[in-house]
Amino acid sequence: TNAGTVEFIYDLDRKAYFFLEMNTRLQVEHPVTEMVTGLDLVEQMIRVAAGERLGFAQRDLRLDGWAIECRINAEDPAHDFRPSAGTISKWQPPGGPGVRLDTHVVSGYRVPPNYDSMVAKLLVHRPTRTEAIASMRRALREFVVEGIHTTIPLHQEILTTSAYVEGTVDTTYIERVLLAGGASADK
């Protein structure tokens, strides 16, 4: 009767997927799926909730290209991801082919201290993984946010590591890299 997200994790050692959880809603990362399938998942969710049937079957879905999403949070990664409330004095979002920014923020916006710290979702979609990584690196360089700390520098750092480029990161990567003194240790 509506949309949901099923999450799995892949164990490299066992070469097997394991069920994590079922969420009865779309996840924050749903634009990644939208970009590689060409489907508007929110539209589909609304149609199903209104009693309509899906206009496609699983066999009709085709994946096209690579998408990457970076959550831009008002946090200071250098200080245990401490929230960074305050007024955004400059908000200059990136653009270009395959770049999508989901946000409500503009220059002058006041980031409150008592809500979720995410201020934007920056996404890129390109034909290959290498092109997607290059596009995200460029988009992060172009993205200017002043007046608060954000996770942009952390994303920039991660996207240059050999582990990320080679696709060998795992669920402990951030903790291990941060505890080791920063992502630059992995280059």
Instruction: Report the DSSP beta bridge partners of residue 69.
Output: 123
Q: Which of 14, 25, 110, 129 is catalytic?
A: 25
Q: Which structure tokens are listed for 137?
A: 């690196």
Decide if 87 contacts 112 (C-beta within 8 A): no
Question: Roughly how many angstroms between the first and final C-alpha of the chain, as a whole number?
Answer: 47
- 25 labelled catalytic: yes
What ranges in the chain are assigned the alpha helix state H? Answer: 30-37, 41-49, 129-142, 152-158, 162-166, 173-179
Decide if 183 contacts 161 (C-beta within 8 A): yes
Phi, psi (5° rounding) for residue 148? Answer: -140, 165
Which residues are CB-contacts of 135 (< 8 A; sequence separation ≥ 6)?
96, 97, 98, 99, 124, 126
Residue 116's CB is within 10 A of a number of other CB atoms, namely 10
Q: Which residues are designated catalytic?
A: 25
